[in-house]
Structure 1
């Protein structure tokens, strides 16, 4: 059986006047992530991990921020499209391990819904989706609440 591992990372600025989308859900906060799409850092990192595992480039190649059809797009659609690319190559996801780095808001109470959303889109069990969170102890751009970061590892296996 053939296995492939992918790693993804994404950063976005936090600004007033935008909604904050993380893991496919809208989280109440005074700031939101700035980006061409809905700027969901977690879903973007997962997409990059999936693409990287199969040497398919990155999210910017498949969904460029210069293309107006992706302007303000729901990143759940990008995740679905990325999953289709992986499936078309004959692979399925074994599991996802991810980490969010942000000072606020605290996402623990939202992580279950995020896991459910991601699992549903990717035809996984919720137990196959891990979401952890940390802060930078007020250091750097994350600590100053100027931005947030997501990291994701994905294990793929060749379908039987």
Structure 2
């Protein structure tokens, strides 16, 4: 039985914390100072990383972020920043015989403005995921919760390889 590749998709969305809540804004593995409040959530709320984690796990058939880290304020992921979560996800894939090959993430929202730090974010995501990760961003032209500035969302696609061809087999 030969190896192969598979693709997965992930999505995440979070509401911005109210003004004065003191939440740092984390996106695509980076802290964005001066861009307003961060998002509500048990972890840092980095929707770009969370969508990427779901895409990687989906491609490998290993569930989703809740399967790996749990859900809620007492979960393994509570209080964690995105990049360590992404590193742990990549390790989990490798332990099950899968290798991240490439990924793409699109952030949907009015802030933060990704363009100025795109390269830095791509480097951070790529290092943590163990594969090339491209990052894009868009707005919804004032439509929906992201367009009204109530929150931010991200969608991701990931390609993983299974060199052994046996799901769950260690390399």
Find the counterpart in structure 2 of residue 8 from structure 1.
10
Find the counterpart in structure 1 of residue 167 from structure 2.
none
Cα deviation, residue 133, structure 1: 0.4
Bigger proportion of residues as strand: 1
Rounded Cα–Cα distance in structure 1 between residues aligned with 2:129 and 2:9? 17
CA RMSD, 1 decimal:
1.4
Post-superposition CA distance 1:19-49 (Å, at most 9, x none)? 1101110012112111000111011001000
The answer (yes or no) to whether the contact 2:16–2:150 under 8 Å persists in 1 is: yes
Unaligned runs of 5+ in 1: none
CA change 1:22–1:70 in 2 (3 A) is same
Secondary structure of the corresponding residue to residue 107 of structure 2: strand
Match of 1:62 among 62, 68, 71: 68
Aligned pairs (5 A) from 1:1-160: 1-15=3-17, 16=19, 17-28=22-33, 29-66=35-72, 67-124=74-131, 128-159=132-163
Cα deviation, residue 123, structure 1: 2.7
Q: Could you state the TM-score of these two structures normalised by the residue count of structure 1?
A: 0.92
Post-superposition CA distance 1:48-92 (Å, at most 9, x none)? 001111221110121123325432211211111111111011111
Secondary structure of the corresponding residue to residue 32 of structure 1: coil
Secondary structure of the corresponding residue to residue 16 of structure 2: strand
Q: Could you state the TM-score of these two structures normalised by the residue count of structure 2?
A: 0.86
Secondary structure of the corresponding residue to residue 136 of structure 1: coil
Greater Cα radius of gyration, structure 1 or 2 = 2
Rounded Cα–Cα distance in structure 2 between residues aligned with 1:105 and 1:155? 26
**Farther-moved stretch of structure 1 (88-97 vs 60-69):** 60-69
Rounded Cα–Cα distance in structure 2 between residues aligned with 1:122 and 1:103? 26
Cα deviation, residue 105, structure 1: 2.7
